[in-house]
A and B are shown apart, each in its own frame.
Chain A
Amino acid sequence: MLAFVFPALLFYSVFMLAPAIGGIWYSLTDWNGLNPSYKLVGFANYIEALTDDPIYLKSVFFTLKYVMFMVVLQNAFALLLAVLVESRRRSKVWFRTIFMMPNMMSMIIGGFMWMFIFTKVLPYIANHTILHFLDRSWIGDPGYSFYAILIVALWGGVGYLMIIYIAALQGVPQNLKEAAAIDGANKIQTFWRVTLPMILPAVTIGIFVTLNSSFKVFDVVYALTGGGPGRATQVIALNILEEAFYRNNRYGYASAKAMILFVIVCLITLVQLRLMKIREVEV
């Protein structure tokens, strides 16, 4: 058996397991990345991150806010689009192809494209038409840049979830819907009472996927605002990166911040798995 498993285990151990365990170890030290000598500091890094680092805490809360908006909006839009697209006959394939398109490119590319829209195209439209309200500092004003990030993230992510929801919708037996129609249910009632309960497992997956990906959000923010203006849109991943590589080289401290992110993601996953189990038993 080991002959088959060994190659995978080797790469996995060196590039995944070792960094994970090493990260836990370094998070308990004052290592600065360059100096070969460092000493154990216990949980001091964790305590500092959670009590004495307003920049980090701000990035955590900003990420949480982003996650909440994404979980609700991304799933709602994806489900709505899936239902609408599935209701078409001939144009179905076209719409699906188009909505899925942004998901095929890196959000770095998508983010840069949207930067062009926000900083060049929208101001141009505002100046040349009556749509003056479009002339905002979408990227430069912290009040708007959150929504700019949200728009781009939804643009890039909705298509992916839509595919999952379409697959689920296609799995709902047609005769159930027909039976509901014969019983006098209209389309909206049929959706809420028949279709939605049938696709709940897909909704769980959708929420899980969104939670997981939006806690780790990086590319969109990097491309669009770089965390700015100032640090107004800095997410956890950017904060860790800055701490480790661009500011003080405090690798040990940055590792502690990274472990806190790990714990958050783990907790959410465990809760999610528990919920999934309970629901599966009920159905």
Chain B
Amino acid sequence: MSSESTNAIGANPRGRVGSGLIFLALVVVAAFTLLPIAMSLLNSLKTDGEILNNILSIPAHFEFSNYINTFRKIKFMRSLWNTVVVATVGLTGIILFGSMAGYKLSRTRGKLSEFLFGLFVMSMLIPFHSIMITLTKIARDLNIQGHIIGLGLIYIGLGVPMAIFLYHGFVKSIPRELEEAAVIDGCGEFKLFFTIIFPLLLPVTATIAILNTLWMWNDFLLPLLMLTDSDQYTLLLSTNMLFGEYGNNDWSAILAALVMAMLPAMALYLLLQKYITKGIAEGAIKG
């Protein structure tokens, strides 16, 4: 390397060229990243003939009829509602039961407490595909196959171990004196937890809420196995339905569906980006 280079980065021409190249490389990768999204957006506003002839151009006029047709075809409002219900049921259970168990296991000493915590944590090793066959049978036996609420309940069982793990770690950072003071004041166990402890868990609750919402919202295989009736379908299942068995895809309809299915998650991402990024980094490092 040249001996002239000073420690002021970018002050010499060579540093500036390097910086320019890095910027260019990042722009290329960004274009690659956005390509499928942009292409879907553009072509979802074209007629089938225009897709065939001018796939790369800006649409001549905005063909919103694709959206109107697809909106009905995939029962958009119904599917969106189903997805919201599933995620809400799942998330409520995961946070409520996860925080209670994580808190208590963290505060209790002894063999039983350690065993239970180990049991929950161990299951984070189990791949979903290893349990999906028997899970399907159990859901059928319990008569919850084909119900969106039932699907939400299953998500509670699958999601609660990681929540317990994260809560368990976080509770250790909360001083015990708070609880001792509350107990002296004659506060019951549940009241103590919900009025004093639970609000203090907010940072980790946010992380858990973000990670689990993303997971349930974007999960495809479990709903595919559990939901049988198109009235129960989530957004992803309804979109998947548009693909015929043997090619011949109606792309203008499909692309409109893809854009609509993508929209809620994207809007949420752009709105809550700071928290989502933070939640993901924390979840990965602690999980």
Contact = CB atoms under 8 A, between A and B. Distances in A.
Contacts of B40: 113, 116
A222 B236 CA distance: 13
A154 to B, nearest CB: 10
B182 interface: no
Contacts of A135: none
A236 B97 CA distance: 33
A60 interface: no
Contacts of B127: 215-216, 261-262, 265
Contact of A11 (B26, B36, B156): B156
A218 B132 CA distance: 13
Contacts of B30: 95, 98-99
Interface in A87-117: 87-88, 91, 95-102, 104-110, 112-114, 116-117
Interface residues of A, number: 85
Contact of B120 (A12, A85, A108): A12
B157 interface: yes
A142 interface: no
B144 to A, nearest CB: 10
Interface in A180-211: 181-182, 186, 202, 205, 209
A14 B138 contact: yes
B240 interface: yes
A20 B131 contact: yes
A72 interface: no
A77 to B, nearest CB: 9
A121 B55 contact: yes
A251 interface: yes
A240 interface: yes
A16 B265 CA distance: 27
A163 B277 contact: yes
* Of listed B51, B135, B214, residue having the most chain A CB within 10 A: B135
Interface stretch (B59-67, B73-81, B99-107, B201-209): B99-107
B196 interface: no
Interface string A124-160: 1100000000000000000000000000000100011
Contacts of A41: none
B98 A8 contact: yes
A104 B19 CA distance: 29
Contacts of B19: 87
Contacts of A16: 123, 126, 131, 157-158, 161
A205 B93 contact: no
A28 interface: no
A167 interface: yes
Given A11-B156, A12-B161, A240-B133, A186 B1 contact: yes
In which size bucket is the chain B interface? 35 or more
A73 to B, nearest CB: 14
A99 B281 CA distance: 15
A19 interface: yes
Interface string A49-82: 0000000000000000000000000000000010
Given A15-B158, A108-B239, A116-B40, A23 B23 contact: no
Nearest to B3: A184
A4 B281 contact: no
A262 B130 contact: yes
* Of listed A3, A13, A14, A251, residue having the most chain B CB within 10 A: A14
B7 A12 contact: no
A64 to B, nearest CB: 15
A99 B129 contact: no
Contact of B100 (A4, A100, A105): A4
Given A20-B126, A20-B134, A202-B285, 18 more contacts: A5-B104, A7-B101, A8-B100, A14-B142, A19-B133, A81-B26, A87-B19, A88-B22, A100-B269, A104-B269, A105-B265, A106-B261, A124-B56, A155-B32, A164-B280, A241-B221, A245-B225, A269-B125
5 contacts: A12-B123, A16-B126, A33-B133, A108-B220, A163-B281
